[in-house]
Structure 1
């Protein structure tokens, strides 16, 4: 608060001729002195201020201003010493002085508070009276200030009298021999500090009395220099207040730490900060707010926040038990002392990674094959993969809630959370995140979004994109997604093509056109194939073919290089895969389509993939009454090829595994899976296997099961591992091997682009820029980059710069 400024008063000019009057300074001053005593004793109602003003005016006019100024200040000093100081000293009872000097003694809190209140009230009244009286006297002496004060550059009478109160009341000796507090000001400070201590301990104090005394300290200055930093409040009280607060909060911090409860600690510190802010607003000075906040922050937060975070009841406990409110308080406290919230961020990130690693460990354990003798669990690995994704999404929802409610939507914290999720999803000990996320999308596209509203479908797609953001090796995800998408499209497994396209659009926005170009091309192929199938039917009809046994054909013509047609088998199997032998009726329609296709696209070559197709057969079985039971059976193309071998075979004749393999050329591994579905699966046992067992071996014989029974007219023959599923270890290694091979070309292309632009570049800088260019798709291994640099040097795309240290390369045009 700035020093009090009295409003400017209008000066009435004295009557003419007053300057001709003679004056006796002693008599005139005596009149003024008597009047001033009346003012100080609150008995000024009968005084004539005009007459008193004329007395002062005549004295100044007769060049006696200095004598008047000295007389006034001497009079006020003596009045303060003889009348005011005595009253103040009477309020300093021994018990109060002893308590202030030596700490709480036998006196109760109530007794100390009462004694302190009396002192504060008395000092407040003395100060208020002094201000009123000095203002009245200053009005009388206005001409003195205007002429003498201005000429001599002396402070006004009012301000001089304020300084006299400071010097002869506040700084006066307390008169106590028992106390080390030798001045009234020191006693005032001590009493206010004790009252604040009482309030901090939960007692009720008289804030108004303290505020009045604080206003007095803000109105007075340490010296004649009336600058902000010289206010008596700043120079005298505030340092003592901050030091006492520091000691108090040091002690309270130790006590709270001994209690060992992070939630209580956060609540208490938050409450203390609010209390101090309110205390400065209502009791002390708002200019102290920031300073006391710094004291609390240093003693209760900065010096202890790490220990609080690491408590057993700290961040980990709050996260695990969803204690979002206290976690939010802990966040607020951390933010007060560290804008980056380093310790809190480290603790949260560690917990995310620990929880994520637990999820990874659980899925690895769940994916292990059952022990010998235990029954196999169908789709065990795939179920574990979907469980992994659900657990990750649940973990994500948990930390989204924390970020929203506890971390105040802090973008830096969100970045840290995202980085932590990416760390454990891309952990070196867990390499199946890309595959599992693709399986999650696959499962939802086939059945998960069924009967969901548009809003719920959007939520599923958003979750998928969120997971995709965490994946570091997006090229590996693309490989799995193409594989799974191809099966959905070719086997008509997708619930909604529109939703499939929405997913691709979101991927395009997130990852760019290069990522989705082949995926979009797959949908284009499906659309073109529908047109080709319709055109082929019209082509056949136009020829008027009378063959009633003709096979209806629905064809999918897929662009080579766009579809992952060889990823279901190992490289060795694909390299040695023979051409399948089709039944005559199928071979004929196959040839017809090739002829039709050549009329549309001259010069293009079709490669047939029977392992990707399906067929519908109408099969007649004998029933118990000698009539026929007709079933419509949907099955893979391979199963159709096998079953047509039995079409004209006598009932008592069989075909061995070797016979079937020789007559169809179906690869042995695929043939075993087909025969398991046709002869072992209980619901589709269209063939009889001799001997009957769960496994198919080359010595097995197969008969057509004329007595097949089913309650359904329409059946579907599945194939072991025909649906999208989690890969085996061997399949995963093969997929990663193929992906690494494709990365070679991407790394080389990136190196050539960089060097073509830069022409000459140091080795380390080339490594850094190559990693940066490829980061959107995958994180390349440094050894792989080095090997590609060496390869490009051998192929004369680059050359080493001779004598360069460190090593550098030059681009060869």
Structure 2
């Protein structure tokens, strides 16, 4: 009939005008993408959409374009961005926003699968780019993301209006969803949250809770349970101090200075004990160790201080530098201008004489001397990266035991597959590491290989 021949004729036209020209069309689409001619691109996509499966190659071209643009944009800022969490994360989010808009305007009308290709492109350049390559590890992205959160959640964050903060948190969650090493993000986040809570540096409890609840939605209760317990500890501590005040009034206890205290449960907080040094029992920081020396004498040389406290000299110089800057200590070998401008901790010499500023006065009611030391901060970051692999081995072993307990026997390859699947929401397990964990569990007699089939593992109760 007439209708049938019309369909055949249309098919022939499509074959000649579209299918036989696909190579030219694909090449043209790259030019349109590069020149940001999005309307033309939409027309091209509509045309190619008439030929079965022909848009697959187009989607691949879009994915590659987004990936390359992501890599190039990050490369341009990488020198600064490696130590600037705000620049790094906002660069990533800008790229994401730009191409999400492109995809929504041009393609989603015809094909929802395109969102998957954009996800692939972004996941690739967020987890592996010039910044992570310079750092030598994909764990740099989650570290910088956690540090960006820390900047937003701290007091005195000048750059953001309050109304923008919720939107910023939503943006952070977009980047978070692309990050493969979510366990690394959690480690850095919990350390920074701990410092904010203990140092009373949070801009607002509501914002802190909002961010934790977003993470809980994305990764489940277990992921945020320690963060929530830390929060609860601070809440309990806040009620303890007024209760103690009341107790003192009732018992007419006098002569006790104004103080505040926090009671923290050790297994929820990521603090470790400080390294060994000779320490008076009533104090707990390097600065107090140094200040307590002045109970014995008002003048000390740097060298004598080091002998007395056994604090490593690099660390001691940083502590003294902070105390000199805050004018609690005075050094006659350093003039005032030098102290205010370009003095570095390494300028302090062992033979310098340091005395207590007995006439010290401050307009502030409370002085925060506890500014993080460079070496401590850097070691902190390195320490987190170092412990990641050990922690992951424990998580992988626990997953293997869980799976084998449920299955009793399982082929080696299937076990590997299931471990990867179960842990993919936290991090991407490394195949050789999984194999090593299986061997450890065989050694510990949790599992054994079947005598008649070495490829099958059996759970030993």
Normalised by the size of structure 1, how large is the TM-score?
Answer: 0.50
**Aligned equivalent of 1:412, options 113, 130, 135:** 113
Contact residue 441 and residue 447 of structure 2 kept, 8 A: yes
- In the alignment, what sits opposite 2:64? 350
**Aligned equivalent of 1:702, options 354, 369, 375:** 354
- In the alignment, what sits opposite 1:799? 448
Q: Structure 2 matches for 1:510-589, cutoff 5 A?
A: 510-547=218-255, 550-566=256-272, 576-578=275-277, 580-581=279-280, 587=282
SS for the counterpart of 1:303 is: helix
Contact residue 689 and residue 703 of structure 1 kept, 8 A: yes
- In the alignment, what sits opposite 1:496? 204
- Paired with 2:387 and 2:274, the residues of 1 have a C-alpha distance of 14
**Aligned equivalent of 1:487, options 185, 195, 201:** 195
1:298 deviates by 2.5
- Paired with 1:391 and 1:418, the residues of 2 have a C-alpha distance of 17
1:328 deviates by 1.9
Is 654-663 or 492-501 further displaced after alignment? 654-663
- In the alignment, what sits opposite 1:475? 183
- In the alignment, what sits opposite 2:420? 771
**Does residue 309 in structure 1 map to residue 26 in structure 2?**
yes
- Paired with 1:800 and 1:420, the residues of 2 have a C-alpha distance of 40
Inter-CA distance 673–423: structure 2 relative to 1 (3 Å threshold):
same
1:678 deviates by 2.0
1:658 deviates by 4.4
SS for the counterpart of 1:336 is: coil
Inter-CA distance 557–787: structure 2 relative to 1 (3 Å threshold):
same
Tell me the alpha carbon deviations over residues 96-128 of structure 1, each in whole angstroms, 9 at most, x when there is no partner: xxxxxxxxxxxxxxxxxxxxxxxxxxxxxxxxx
SS for the counterpart of 2:113 is: helix
User: Deviation above 6 Å: which 4+ runs of structure 1?
Assistant: 706-710
SS for the counterpart of 1:655 is: strand
- Paired with 1:475 and 1:350, the residues of 2 have a C-alpha distance of 28
- In the alignment, what sits opposite 2:340? none
Tell me the alpha carbon deviations over residues 52-91 of structure 1, each in whole angstroms, 9 at most, x when there is no partner: xxxxxxxxxxxxxxxxxxxxxxxxxxxxxxxxxxxxxxxx
- Paired with 2:123 and 2:87, the residues of 1 have a C-alpha distance of 18
Inter-CA distance 687–811: structure 2 relative to 1 (3 Å threshold):
same
Contact residue 319 and residue 373 of structure 2 kept, 8 A: no
- Paired with 1:512 and 1:448, the residues of 2 have a C-alpha distance of 29
- In the alignment, what sits opposite 2:46? 332
Tell me the alpha carbon deviations over residues 238-282 of structure 1, each in whole angstroms, 9 at most, x when there is no partner: 6xxxxxxxxxxxxxxxxxxxxxxxxxxxxxxxxxxxxxxxxxxxx
1:555 deviates by 1.3
Which blocks of at least 5 consecutive residues in structure 1 are unaligned? 1-228, 239-287, 368-380, 567-573, 588-607, 612-637
- Paired with 2:253 and 2:303, the residues of 1 have a C-alpha distance of 36
- Paired with 1:420 and 1:443, the residues of 2 have a C-alpha distance of 27
Inter-CA distance 552–668: structure 2 relative to 1 (3 Å threshold):
farther
- Paired with 2:231 and 2:355, the residues of 1 have a C-alpha distance of 41
- In the alignment, what sits opposite 1:298? 15
SS for the counterpart of 1:411 is: coil
- Paired with 1:443 and 1:344, the residues of 2 have a C-alpha distance of 40
**Aligned equivalent of 2:433, options 784, 790, 793:** 784
- In the alignment, what sits opposite 2:88? 388
- Paired with 1:320 and 1:678, the residues of 2 have a C-alpha distance of 56
Inter-CA distance 321–489: structure 2 relative to 1 (3 Å threshold):
farther
Contact residue 248 and residue 254 of structure 2 kept, 8 A: no
**Aligned equivalent of 1:462, options 154, 170, 175:** 170
SS for the counterpart of 1:702 is: strand
Contact residue 657 and residue 698 of structure 1 kept, 8 A: yes
Inter-CA distance 322–494: structure 2 relative to 1 (3 Å threshold):
farther
Inter-CA distance 339–361: structure 2 relative to 1 (3 Å threshold):
same
1:365 deviates by 2.5
Contact residue 688 and residue 703 of structure 1 kept, 8 A: yes
1:702 deviates by 1.3
Structure showing greater relative contact order (alpha-carbon pairs closer than 8 Å, 6 or more residues apart): 2
SS for the counterpart of 1:560 is: coil
1:784 deviates by 0.8
Normalised by the size of structure 2, how large is the TM-score?
Answer: 0.85
1:408 deviates by 2.4
1:785 deviates by 0.8
1:348 deviates by 1.6
Q: Structure 2 matches for 1:220-259, cutoff 5 A?
A: 229=1
1:543 deviates by 3.9
1:788 deviates by 0.9
- Paired with 2:124 and 2:329, the residues of 1 have a C-alpha distance of 51
Inter-CA distance 436–359: structure 2 relative to 1 (3 Å threshold):
farther
- In the alignment, what sits opposite 1:101? none
SS for the counterpart of 2:457 is: strand
Inter-CA distance 342–509: structure 2 relative to 1 (3 Å threshold):
same
- Paired with 1:732 and 1:338, the residues of 2 have a C-alpha distance of 51
Give the length in aligned residue pairs.
Answer: 442
Contact residue 800 and residue 810 of structure 1 kept, 8 A: yes
Which of the pair has more CA radius of gyration? 1
- In the alignment, what sits opposite 1:134? none
SS for the counterpart of 1:494 is: coil
SS for the counterpart of 2:267 is: coil
1:532 deviates by 1.9
- Paired with 1:665 and 1:546, the residues of 2 have a C-alpha distance of 37
1:476 deviates by 0.8
- Paired with 2:126 and 2:232, the residues of 1 have a C-alpha distance of 33
Tell me the alpha carbon deviations over residues 517-555 of structure 1, each in whole angstroms, 9 at most, x when there is no partner: 1111111011011122223333344443442xx432211
**Does residue 735 in structure 1 map to residue 384 in structure 2?**
yes
Inter-CA distance 576–732: structure 2 relative to 1 (3 Å threshold):
closer
Tell me the alpha carbon deviations over residues 5-58 of structure 1, each in whole angstroms, 9 at most, x when there is no partner: xxxxxxxxxxxxxxxxxxxxxxxxxxxxxxxxxxxxxxxxxxxxxxxxxxxxxx
1:779 deviates by 1.1
- In the alignment, what sits opposite 2:338? none
1:426 deviates by 1.9
- In the alignment, what sits opposite 1:185? none
SS for the counterpart of 1:768 is: helix
1:470 deviates by 0.5
**Aligned equivalent of 1:678, options 309, 320, 323:** 323
Which blocks of at least 5 consecutive residues in structure 2 are unaligned? 335-342
1:698 deviates by 4.2
- Paired with 2:351 and 2:61, the residues of 1 have a C-alpha distance of 62
Contact residue 66 and residue 122 of structure 2 kept, 8 A: yes
